[in-house]
Amino acid sequence: MSKTSHKLFDLRAKWLFLFVIILLFSGCKEKQENSVKEPVLKISPDNEGIIVPDGFGVMKVADSLGAPRHIAVNSNGGVYLKLRKPIDGEGIIYLEDQDGDGIADSKKGFADYGGTGIYLDNNYLYASSDEEIFRYKLNAEGEVTDTNSPDTLVTKLVSYRTHATKSFTMDGDGNIYVNIGAYSNACQETDRTLGSPGVMPCAILDSAGGIWQFRSDKFKQSYGEGKRYATGLRNVVGLDWNNQLNKLVVTQHGRDQLNTLYPDLYDTETSAKLPAETMYIINEGDDAGWPYIYYDQFQNKKILSPEYGGDGKKTAGENAIDPITTFPAHMAPNALLFYTGDMFPEEYKNGAFIAFHGSWNRAPEKQKGFLVAFVPFNDGKPSGEWQIFADGFAGIEEVSSPSEANHRPTGLAQGPDGSLYVSDDAGGTLFRIVYNKK
């Protein structure tokens, strides 16, 4: 009896002790928060595990966001994220940071559809499902107030299982440029099937495999009202308008499975290295050559696809445009952003940031490319090789399968102060990269 009560007392004492400590700590925290008035960015001491060049810092704006794809930041620093799949009926998330420490402290959601594309101009927020593009009116603070009745600008775009997402950008002159990805790997009669020949001509190109142009002030446009602006692009996820060139620039996801479909022509190692992921400057009417060719970055040539009689050496696509820069195969460039901010050092100005999602089609070789790359630009043209800007998103040294990666970069946006935001659709995190060297 006495022993039990003793124990009970012990337990009570422990709880009391714990309670006092918690009280003590929470008191401390409140005091701290009250004393800090001026907005100081809470840069993570370990940069959230992300490796950035000297002078840069990384913070986690928010996590547990589901699968955020493309992102856009308004003039107040509020961030809109498009989710691949809606969560509780909400496919667009709006994050705000009221106290200016860089960490989001409020979160709102709306739009009951999933998708990838999102874009802001001064008057509207634009967002895409896999078939449509909508626009929402912004108020003076750059916020959407009427979340329930967007205008439908574009509708009835083809959407099958493969490459269904509709990334888009705008030119500031009332035009929208939307990627309609080819619903195929290489336009074989039967997709991704050993021995199935390429369709000649590839019928997919009539309604997909290119960039279509629409107006931002007309409603319910579809193929009849739009224009095929460029063709022969397998799937463009990253695209941005370059204001220096006044031209559209895109990054293409190159074809998969050279080894699994043509084991006699390509071994697994070659297949892991080919073809290049490519960046193109797009002029109206351009053809980038898919599915008839792919770009070999070692031979620096457009090579005839094996589906159309190629052997890894025969060149083709004389009328197809050449890339302005190339990247290693299969790294999946998911976002492109030309940096126009003043925060980063001068060499970054007008250069291109590319969010690479990371590969899967290099297997059985190790996977690559869970990173944000940078390509320096001068007068609208690449002025150097691509370089790794931010790395370590995977969180592990060697990735044999993308399911092992903690984070996969997917979207990029520039904040009003010149910060670079990076979304991650694997870990559901939003990162912010700032330059803070004095």
Partner 1 sequence: MRKGHLSTYISKHTVAIFLFGLGLIVLLNSCYSSKKEKKPGSETEIQTVSKSLPKAPEAALPPYMADGRKVYRQVCLTCHQANGKGVSGLNPPLTQTDNVLGDKNRLLEIIIKGSEANLKDNTSEYANVMQGYGMLGDKEIANVASYIRNSFGNKAEPITVEEVTSFRSVNKK
- Binding window for partner 1 (CB under 8 A); candidates: 29-37, 218-226, 257-265, 412-420: 257-265
Per DSSP, the residues of 213-242 read: EEETT-SSB-TTTSEEEEE--S-EEEEEEE
Residue 252: closest CA among 213, 286, 202: 286
259 near partner 1, rule: CB under 8 A: yes
273 near partner 1, rule: CB under 8 A: no
Choosing from 164, 199, 204, 394, the residue that interacts with partner 1 (CB under 8 A) is 164
Matching residue, tokens 């998911």: 334
Residue 420: closest CA among 370, 358, 348: 348
37 near partner 1, rule: CB under 8 A: no
Minimum CB–partner distance for residue 216 and partner 1 (Å): 28
Q: Which is nearer to partner 1, 161 or 437 (CB)?
A: 161
Site for partner 1 in 75-114 (CB under 8 A): 84
Q: Which is nearer to partner 1, 151 or 404 (CB)?
A: 404
269 near partner 1, rule: CB under 8 A: no
194 near partner 1, rule: CB under 8 A: yes
257 near partner 1, rule: CB under 8 A: yes
- Binding window for partner 1 (CB under 8 A); candidates: 7-15, 88-96, 193-201, 315-323: 193-201
- Binding window for partner 1 (CB under 8 A); candidates: 98-106, 199-207, 209-217, 396-404: 396-404
Integer Cα distance of 396 and 406 in angstroms: 8
| Helices and strands (H, E) in the chain, number of each type | 3, 29
Minimum CB–partner distance for residue 235 and partner 1 (Å): 10
Choosing from 426, 430, 433, 434, the residue that interacts with partner 1 (CB under 8 A) is 426
Identify the burial level of 27 via C-beta atoms within 10 angstroms of its C-beta, where 0-12 means exposed, 13-18 middle and 19 or more buried. exposed
Choosing from 128, 169, 242, 361, the residue that interacts with partner 1 (CB under 8 A) is 361
Matching residue, tokens 């799937």: 235
Per DSSP, the residues of 250-293 read: EEE-----HHHH-TTT--HHHHHH-S-EEEEEE-TTEE--TTTE
Integer Cα distance of 291 and 221 in angstroms: 27
Integer Cα distance of 317 and 295 in angstroms: 10
For residue 213, the tally of other CB atoms under 10 A from its CB is 17
Q: Which is nearer to partner 1, 46 or 398 (CB)?
A: 398
The single-letter code of the amino acid at 168 is F
- Binding window for partner 1 (CB under 8 A); candidates: 155-163, 281-289, 318-326, 383-391: 155-163
Choosing from 37, 403, 437, 438, the residue that interacts with partner 1 (CB under 8 A) is 403
Which structure tokens are listed for 169?
Answer: 């950008």
Choosing from 243, 244, 401, 436, the residue that interacts with partner 1 (CB under 8 A) is 401
Identify the burial level of 20 via C-beta atoms within 10 angstroms of its C-beta, where 0-12 means exposed, 13-18 middle and 19 or more buried. exposed
190 near partner 1, rule: CB under 8 A: yes
222 near partner 1, rule: CB under 8 A: no
CA distances from 366 to 192, 359, 362, 399, 402 (A): 22, 9, 7, 6, 10
- Binding window for partner 1 (CB under 8 A); candidates: 5-13, 356-364, 384-392, 411-419: 356-364
Choosing from 155, 213, 260, 340, the residue that interacts with partner 1 (CB under 8 A) is 260
Interface residue list for partner 1 (CB under 8 A): 84, 161-164, 190-194, 196, 257, 259-260, 360-361, 363-364, 400-404, 426
